[in-house]
C-alpha cells in the first residue's frame, strides 16, 4: 500500500493553527486570572454593603430596616439563581448597636467569626469551603455584616466562554481561510520552480536554469540544482570525449590489423608473411591491452557500484604484481625489486589497488626504465606509503599537470617508449586511488633520474613480522 505523501502546506497551516490555539488558551488563562483577581479586589459584598449601609442609616424602626434588607436579599439571591450561579446565597446579618439581632438571611455569622473579630470594611475569608467576600459596617444605631461567596471556577470559565466564544467561533474560520490563502500564495514560487524543473528535457539541455528567484529560501535550492546540472553537463561532455577518444584509439590498431591481415593473405614470400604475422600478433596484443584498460577504467568509475573491501596481505599483492610483470621486464632487460616487510595485513579494495600497481609498473616498463622498484613503508599519523619508482626519462614538470588525463602521452616519454601505449595507464591509477580514498602524488625516481608515483594509504594494523626488506630481481 502506497503511503500518502505529506503536504508542506497542510503542515504549515497545522503549525500556525496550533500556535493560534496555544495563544488563545493562554489569553483565556490570563483573562480568567484577571477576572478572578478583580472580583477578589472589588467584590459584590463591598459594593452592596456600602449601598445597604447608606439605605438603613437613617431608619430608626427595626421593622423598616428588616424590610429593606429582606427585600433586597430576596431579590439579589433570586437574580443569582436565574443566572445559574452555583456559589451559594449571600448572607446578611443586622444587629443593633447593642448587639441585639434584628435580621439574619442565612447561617449565623457568629459561628464563623465573633463580633469583636468581624472586620470593618471589605475583606476576603474562607468559610464553608468557599472564599467569601465580607463587609462590615457600624454606626450609632446599626451593625451590618455581609458574607458573599465568590463565583467558582466553572462560573468564571462560563463567563469567559460566553464573552469570547462568539468571537472565537467567528475568528476561527476566517483565520483558517487566511492561513490557507497565505500558505498557498507563499508556496506558489515553489510550485513554479517545480514546474520549470518538470519541463526540462535532460536529454537535450543541461544548461543551468539561472532563475531570478526573489525569495531567499528558494535561492539555495535553485543554486544547488544549477550546480547539479553543471556537474551532469561536465560528466556528459567527459563521457562524449572519452567515447570519441576511445573510438579514435581503437581505430588505429584495428586499421593496422586489417592491413597486416591483407599482407598476410596476399604476400607471396615467406619472409613477408612472417613479418605480417608478427605485426598482426603485436596489433592484437595492443588492442587487447587497450580493451582491458578501457574495461578497468569503467570498473573504477565513481558511478559504478562501491568496491568490495576485503582483508589481504599488501606484500603478497606487490610480489604478485611484479611476478606478472617479470616476463615483460626480462624481455626489456628491466630489473625489478621489492622493498617491503615480510607481511603487511590491510583491508580495502584489492581489485582497485591491483589495477593501480599493474598500470604504474606497466607504465615504467613501457617508458624506457632500466630499473623499477616497488616500496612499501609506514608513515606517521597512521598512514602507509606504497611507491613505484623507476630510472626512466621521467615526465617534465610542466607536463605533470596533465599526465593523469585520459589518452594523454608526453612528448618526452614518447621518444623513449619501447612500444606505443594507450595513454590510459596513469588515468586508471588516478581513478583507482580515488576509489581507495588515497592520495596519489609524484615523488623522486631512482638514482636522480626517472619518476616515482607515491600512494599514501590509510594504514591497518600490521603484523609483528620482521621488518627486513625483501628483494626480487
CATH architecture of 44-149: 2-Layer Sandwich (3.30)
* CATH 3.30.565.10 boundaries in the chain: 310-458
User: Based on C-alpha coordinates, what's the Rg of the chain?
Assistant: 50
* CATH 3.30.450 boundaries in the chain: 44-149
Position 319 confidence tier, pLDDT thresholds 50, 70, 90: very high
310-458 fold: Heat Shock Protein 90 (3.30.565)
Looking at the predicted structure, is the pLDDT value of residue 465 above 70?
no
Comparing 223 with 254, which gets the higher pLDDT? 223
Alpha-carbon distance of 291 to 282, in angstroms, equals: 14
Position 5 confidence tier, pLDDT thresholds 50, 70, 90: low
Comparing 221 with 162, which gets the higher pLDDT? 221
User: Among candidates 119, 80, 114, 78, which has minimal Cα distance to 99?
Assistant: 114
Angle (deg, nearest 10), helices 425-435 and 270-299: 20
Could you report the per-residue pLDDT of 20-68, keeping only the tens digit for each?
888 878 877 787 777 666 665 555 667 777 788 888 888 888 888 888 8
Q: State mean pLDDT over 253-258.
A: 70
Looking at the predicted structure, is the pLDDT value of residue 473 above 70?
no
The chain-wide mean pLDDT, for the chain, equals 75
Q: Which of 306-315, 323-332, 444-453 has the lowest mean pLDDT?
A: 306-315
The correct CATH number of 219-299 out of 3.40.50.1980, 1.10.287.130, 1.10.3720.10, 1.10.10.10 is: 1.10.287.130
Alpha-carbon distance of 39 to 41, in angstroms, equals: 5
User: Among candidates 376, 356, 360, 382, which has minimal Cα distance to 434?
Assistant: 356
Q: State mean pLDDT over 304-311.
A: 65
Instruction: Determine the pLDDT at residue 471.
Output: 46
Position 461 confidence tier, pLDDT thresholds 50, 70, 90: very low
Instruction: Determine the pLDDT at residue 317.
Output: 93
* CATH 1.10.287.130 boundaries in the chain: 219-299
Amino acid at each position: 500500500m502506497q503511503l500518502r505523501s505529506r503536504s508542506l502546506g497542510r503542515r504549515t497551516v497545522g503549525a500556525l493553527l496550533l500556535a493560534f490555539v496555544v495563544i488563545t488558551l493562554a489569553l483565556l488563562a490570563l483573562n480568567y486570572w484577571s477576572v478572578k483577581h478583580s472580583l477578589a479586589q472589588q467584590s459584590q459584598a463591598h459594593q452592596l454593603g456600602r449601598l445597604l449601609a447608606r439605605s438603613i442609616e437613617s431608619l430608626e424602626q427595626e421593622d423598616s430596616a428588616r424590610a429593606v434588607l429582606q427585600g433586597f436579599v430576596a431579590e439579589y439571591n433570586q437574580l443569582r439563581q436565574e443566572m445559574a450561579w452555583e456559589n451559594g446565597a449571600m448572607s446578611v446579618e443586622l444587629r443593633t448597636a447593642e448587639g441585639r439581632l434584628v435580621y439574619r438571611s442565612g447561617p449565623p455569622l457568629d459561628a464563623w467569626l465573633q463580633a469583636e473579630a468581624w472586620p470593618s470594611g471589605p475583606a476576603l475569608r474562607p468559610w464553608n469551603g468557599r472564599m467569601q467576600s465580607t463587609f462590615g459596617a457600624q454606626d450609632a444605631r446599626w451593625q451590618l455584616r455581609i458574607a458573599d461567596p465568590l463565583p467558582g471556577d466553572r462560573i468564571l470559565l462560563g463567563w469567559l466562554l460566553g464573552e469570547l466564544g462568539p468571537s472565537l467561533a467567528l475568528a476561527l474560520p476566517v483565520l483558517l481561510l487566511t492561513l490557507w490563502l497565505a500558505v498557498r500564495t507563499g508556496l506558489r514560487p515553489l510550485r513554479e520552480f517545480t514546474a520549470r524543473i518538470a519541463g526540462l528535457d535532460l536529454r537535450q539541455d543541461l544548461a543551468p536554469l539561472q532563475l531570478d528567484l526573489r525569495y531567499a529560501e528558494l535561492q539555495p535550492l535553485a543554486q544547488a540544482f544549477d550546480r547539479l546540472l553543471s556537474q551532469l553537463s561536465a560528466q556528459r561532455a567527459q563521457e562524449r570525449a572519452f567515447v570519441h577518444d576511445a573510438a579514435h584509439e581503437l581505430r588505429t590498431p584495428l586499421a593496422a590489423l586489417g592491413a597486416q591481415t591483407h599482407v598476410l593473405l596476399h604476400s607471396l614470400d615467406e619472409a613477408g608473411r612472417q613479418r605480417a604475422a608478427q605485426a598482426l600478433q603485436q596489433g592484437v596484443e595492443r588492442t587487447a591491452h587497450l580493451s582491458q584498460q578501457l574495461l578497468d577504467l569503467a570498473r573504477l568509475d565513481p558511478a559504478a557500484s562501491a568496491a568490495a573491501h576485503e582483508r589481504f596481505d599488501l606484500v603478497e599483492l606487490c610480489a604478485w604484481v611484479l611476478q606478472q610483470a617479470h616476463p615483460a621486464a626480462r624481455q626489456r632487460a628491466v630489473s625489478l625489486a621489492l622493498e617491503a616487510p615480510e607481511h603487511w595485513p590491510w583491508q580495502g579494495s584489492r581489485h582497485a589497488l591491483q589495477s593501480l600497481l599493474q598500470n604504474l609498473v606497466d607504465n615504467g616498463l613501457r617508458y624506457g626504465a632500466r630499473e623499477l622498484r616497488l616500496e612499501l613503508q609506514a608513515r606517521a599519523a597512521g598512514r602507509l606509503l606504497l611507491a613505484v619508482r623507476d630510472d626512466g626519462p621521467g615526465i617534465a614538470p610542466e607536463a605533470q599537470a596533465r599526465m593523469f588525463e585520459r589518452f594523454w602521452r608526453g612528448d618526452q616519454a614518447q621518444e623513449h617508449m619501447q612500444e606505443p601505449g594507450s595513454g590510459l595507464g596513469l588515468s586508471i591509477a588516478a581513478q583507482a586511488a580515488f576509489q581507495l580514498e588515497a592520495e596519489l602524488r609524484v615523488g623522486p625516481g631512482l638514482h636522480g633520474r626517472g619518476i616515482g608515483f607515491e600512494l599514501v594509504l590509510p594504514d591497518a594494523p600490521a603484523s609483528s613480522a620482521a621488518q627486513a626488506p625483501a628483494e626480487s630481481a
